Amino acid sequence: MTISAPGSNQIPATLIPGDGIGPEIVDAVTQVLAALGAPFAWDVQQGGLAGIEAAGDPLPGVTLDSIRKNKLALKGPLTTPVGGGFRSVNVRLREEFQLYANLRPARTLVPGGRFENIDLVLVRENLEGLYVAFEHYIPVGDDPHAVAISSGVNTREGARRIVRYAFEYAVAHGRRKVTLVHKANVLKALTGVFLEAGREVARAYEGRIACDERIVDACAMQLVLNPWQFDVIVTTNLFGDILSDLIAGLVGGLGAAPGANIGEKAAIFEAVHGSAPDIAGKGIANPTALLLAAGLMLDHVGLTQQATALRRGIDAVLIEDNVRTGDLGGSSSTQDFAAALVQRIASSRT
Ligand code: NAI
Ligand code: MG
């Protein structure tokens, strides 16, 4: 279903409301993007439980076709049904569109938390490593699970591609430094190839973007002791999964953590959080994470001014207007937040 036909300056994009709090926060985000004058022509498609209801599949063919055509999507959280043989929708999307880069920026939004003025970006390789899940058991005696074996796969080309992405991101966004995070002291082949390729890519940016290296465990400690030393961090799939949650924790948790999945064939923007069934339908979900994801989407299509206006508006609503949802200690509803942000954007445009 197309809400508005793409005109000459319009950018067609797939919009997946998703499950649980998805439709509520997506509604808030489309109101705010309209107030910004963002030129997206939304093609609304279903996924998750809504996809099963509509087409018997959590990732219906029409939804995939729409993303394939538009190469751009904003997605609410999707409930992955437990059991029933459904594979994770997120993994299917990553594989289908070869979304090799997972971008997770984290910035302090509300002062007074444990850490002030955090502004760092984690770039996670999204397709390789231990996530290929080549796993099996070897039975011994009467124990069928006596030995578990898992093989990770990292390719030189995959490592080059993700590190190049991190450096290009740094160049495009005025960042100073990229940190390569690895465990090449122990996993000499699996993460050694990442480090080797990363150093090689870094040489092409010498004099423009600084590069340093950390072993992942030391990096975790240093992120807690002194997060301000980091700028852009690039790492393999599993380490990126763990460190990006650590980093989200530094800035106040899930309600404010956006993510982007980027590949050559498409880019899909979403919140890091899930469908929050415990608060769905109550109108109290925090739309900030999905709003920040929409900001990444504006950055991605080159609408930097609108992205900046969106982020400034969010800051103003949270800090100056003191409009916050329950997860951030306030009592405002999703719609109160959207209305306050629309108001801020309208007053800054006049
Ligand atoms: P969740 O992120 O949905 O919720 C965890 C906790 O955080 C809950 O207490 C929830 O109320 C709260 N929360 C999350 N987002 C919030 C927001 N915007 N505002 C205020 N509070 C918020 O994680 P959970 O419960 O583990 O997963 C629920 C479902 O979501 C599962 O089916 C899971 O598979 C799916 N999921 C989907 C993701 C995606 O589509 N990218 C990512 C993570 C989970
Ligand atoms: Mg994770």
Q: 311 — phi, psi (to 5°)?
A: -65, -40
Neighbours of ion ligand 2 (CB under 5 A): 241
Q: Are 271 and 258 in contact (CB under 8 A)?
A: yes
Nearest residue (CA) to ligand 1, atom 34: 80
State the helix-helix crossing angle for 304-315 and 334-349, rounded to 10 degrees.
Answer: 120
Q: 229 — phi, psi (to 5°)?
A: -75, -15
Distance from Cα 234 to the centre of ligand 1, integer Å = 25
Mean pLDDT of 76-96: 81
42-66 pLDDT tens trace:
999 999 999 999 999 999 999 999 9
User: Is residue 2 scored above 60 in pLDDT?
Assistant: no
User: Is residue 5 scored above 80 in pLDDT?
Assistant: no
Of residues 332, 287, 275, 335, the one with CA closest to residue 314: 287
Select the more confidently predicted residue: 144 or 83.
144
117-156 pLDDT tens trace:
999 999 999 999 998 888 999 999 999 999 999 999 999 9
Give the residue numbers annotated as catalytic, written as ranges.
131, 183, 217, 241
Tell me whether residue 23 is exposed, middle or buried, using C-beta atoms within 10 angstroms of its C-beta: 0 to 12, 13 to 18, 19 or more. Answer: middle
Mean pLDDT over all residues of the chain?
94
DSSP 228-290: GG-SEEEE-HHHHHHHHHHHHHHTT-GGG-EEEEE-SS-EEEEESS---TTTTTTT----HHH
Distance from Cα 321 to the centre of ligand 2, integer Å = 32
User: Is residue 312 scored above 70 in pLDDT?
Assistant: yes
User: Is residue 170 scored above 80 in pLDDT?
Assistant: yes
- DSSP β-ladder status, 177-182 and 232-235: parallel
> Which amino acid belongs to residue 293?
A
User: Is residue 8 scored above 80 in pLDDT?
Assistant: no
Q: Which of 5-14, 15-24, 198-207, 302-311 has the lowest mean pLDDT?
A: 5-14
Distance from Cα 275 to the centre of ligand 1, integer Å = 4
Domains parsed from the chain with CATH numbers: 1-97+265-350 (3.40.718.10), 108-251 (3.40.718.10)
Tell me what pLDDT residue 142 has.
98
Atom of ligand 1 nearest to the CA of 285: 19
Which residues are CB-contacts of 343 (< 8 A; sequence separation ≥ 6)? none
